[in-house]
Amino acid sequence: MEKENSNNNWKNKVHEIIYEADTPMGKWFDIILIILIFVSVIIIMLESVKSIDAVHHDLLFTLEWIITIFFTIEYIARIISIKKPLKYVFSFYGIVDLLSTIPLYISYIFVGSQVLLAIRAFRLLRVFRILKLVQFLGEASQLKNALKASRAKITVFLFAVLIISVILGTLMYIIEGDEAGFTSIPTSIYWTIVTLTTVGYGDIAPITPQGQLIATIVMLVGYGVIAVPTGIVTVEFGKQKSGNSQTSAQEGSYVHVNTQACPTCSSEGHRDDATHCYNCGSILNNE
């Protein structure tokens, strides 16, 4: 009993450090983790630059192994310290954590799998999780809400853009020949989207007068069309704002929440004085 308790205490300690950011240790862990993620991404970048890789290959390789071992320990610690490990393992972050740790190991078995290390870039998304630390969170969630609210409209819009692109792309394929680069309908559709979005690489460009006329129409359509997502998001932002000020006018319905995460179900946003998880009811480790 005594032992189990101390075992639990040890697990709680690790959970607090890895999953939360209330204690000095937890904050330090998060900061070190972010730095290591950034360093690991930069190492992968540098390895892909031939001239740098030729000179510093050994250094980069060693650093990568050190970081991979740290990530391995972190991954194991995350599984051990949580009460429902499977929930973490099959969550988005759990899968990304695994996929960004494993490639270096299996690169000894399957040649070329090291390229999977690029998945590590996804770990950068964890930064947003850790951003709980800073006050930017409110801004980020406002952005997220505005985008979420305009999701349906933007889906309809993107679908309409795609259909227009298919029609105009097919038209350009018929008008322009192979010389101008319109070698197939998919390529023509690619060109249409490049033009509609005003990116305009210039790798494919119409050369016949008729093709240039249609291109002009595509551009002017794109010009009008670019206004649509902007209009949607702007109006949504406007509502967001006034919505917020309205809410803040309501009486005392806000309490301060901290960065504690439930060791059982990982839900977040607990009150400072909470002793039980609001979601699953299990006991939180307050100290």
Does residue 121 belong to the site contacting its own copies (CB under 8 A)?
yes
Residues 6+ apart with CB under 8 A from 270: 257, 258, 260, 262, 277, 278, 284
Does residue 153 belong to the site contacting its own copies (CB under 8 A)?
yes
Does residue 201 belong to the site contacting its own copies (CB under 8 A)?
yes
Which of 35, 86, 156, 257 contacts its own copies by CB under 8 A? 156
Residue number with CB closer to its own copies (28 or 38): 38
Residue number with CB closer to its own copies (81 or 192): 192
Min dist CB 140 to its own copies, Å, is 5
- The sign of the dihedral angle between the CA atoms of 90, 19, 141, 247 is positive
Query: Could you tell me which stretch among 22-30, 72-80, 120-128, 273-281 binds its own copies (CB under 8 A)?
Result: 120-128
3-state secondary structure of 143: helix
157-176 residues in contact with its own copies (CB under 8 A) are 157-161, 163, 166-167, 170-171, 173-174
Q: At what angle do helices 92-99 and 50-81 cross, to 10 degrees?
A: 130
Min dist CB 193 to its own copies, Å, is 5
Query: Could you tell me which stretch among 2-10, 13-21, 135-143, 264-272 binds its own copies (CB under 8 A)?
Result: 135-143
Does residue 32 belong to the site contacting its own copies (CB under 8 A)?
no
Residue number with CB closer to its own copies (171 or 265): 171
Residue number with CB closer to its own copies (8 or 48): 48
Residue 264 sits at the vertex; the CA angle it makes with 262 and 265, to the nearest 5 degrees, is 75
* Token pair recorded at residue 94: 């759990």
Mind spelling out the 3-state secondary structure of 2-51?
HHHHHHHHHHHHHHHHHHCCCCHHHHHHHHHHHHHHHHHHHHHHHHHCHH
* CA distance readout (Å), 278 to 34, 65, 116, 122, 270: 29, 40, 39, 30, 7
Which of 195, 260, 264, 266 contacts its own copies by CB under 8 A? 195
Does residue 35 belong to the site contacting its own copies (CB under 8 A)?
no
Residues 6+ apart with CB under 8 A from 260: 20, 22, 268, 270, 274, 284, 286
202-241 residues in contact with its own copies (CB under 8 A) are 202-203, 205, 209, 212, 215-216, 219-220, 222-224, 226-239, 241
* Token pair recorded at residue 214: 């249609």
What's the half-sphere exposure (Cβ side, CA atoms, 13 Å) at 223?
A: 6
Residue number with CB closer to its own copies (8 or 155): 155
Residue number with CB closer to its own copies (200 or 269): 200
234-273 residues in contact with its own copies (CB under 8 A) are 234-239, 241
Query: Could you tell me which stretch among 60-68, 102-110, 140-148, 262-270 binds its own copies (CB under 8 A)?
Result: 140-148
Burial of 1 (0-12, 13-18, 19+ CB in 10 A): exposed
